[in-house]
Amino acid sequence: MSLVGKKAPLFSVPAVINGEEIVEGFSLDQYIGNKEVVFFFYPKDFTFVCPTEILAFQEKLAEFEKRGVAVVGASTDTEETHLAWLMTPKANGGIEGVTYPLVADASKTVAHNFGVLAGEWNYDEEGNLTFEGAPVAYRGTFLIDKAGVVRQETINDLPLGRNIDEMIRLVDALHHVEKFGEVCPANWAEGKEAMSATREGVAEYLSKN
């Protein structure tokens, strides 16, 4: 079920911050009332598509920060594995230089609560608890507003990398809606015309476009 329009699930788990420090009890609650959050899941540390996405978010981090948006990543790896990967140079397949938080969801409960776990627990015929599917997170991305409400979500299958520029566009759209009370039509981008959410507004927009 979609989380759009609902409060983002609560959690308090370990994370690595500033690319070098393990902290306990990391939560998105720290951003409530202060910043929007782009919270994204990736399948696994030390893999192939994942570092391209994580580094792409880092390359665009200044664009998010100047918009007052925090970026937070998460996977089902441990905080120790996160730290090891963060300490590994890019030339060796690492993500050295990433400074935004990486959440460690080793219990898989955060991924489950956000609806992005690529499998589920079940019982076999003998009553033993088993896991069916891939015990990692899909490439879920959530735009969470200052009130802690999910305003946008996308979930990609494991081999499909996401577009970081699209997340910036969605942040801009959210800010435009909140500032001007207009709605953003298809392919809207910062600087383009939006429209009022009325029949007259739609007609006027369509007549000019």
Nearby residues of 147 by Cβ (< 8 Å), 6 or more positions away: 32, 33
Query: Token digits for 15?
Result: 């994370």
Distances from the Cα of 158 to the Cαs of 42, 106, 112, 130, 144, in angstroms? 8, 18, 16, 21, 22
Distances from the Cα of 19 to the Cαs of 12, 44, 50, in angstroms? 19, 17, 16
Separation of CA 208 from chain center:
35
Q: Which 8-state DSSP code applies to residue 35?
A: -
Strands 139-144 and 129-137: unpaired
- Catalytic residue set: 50
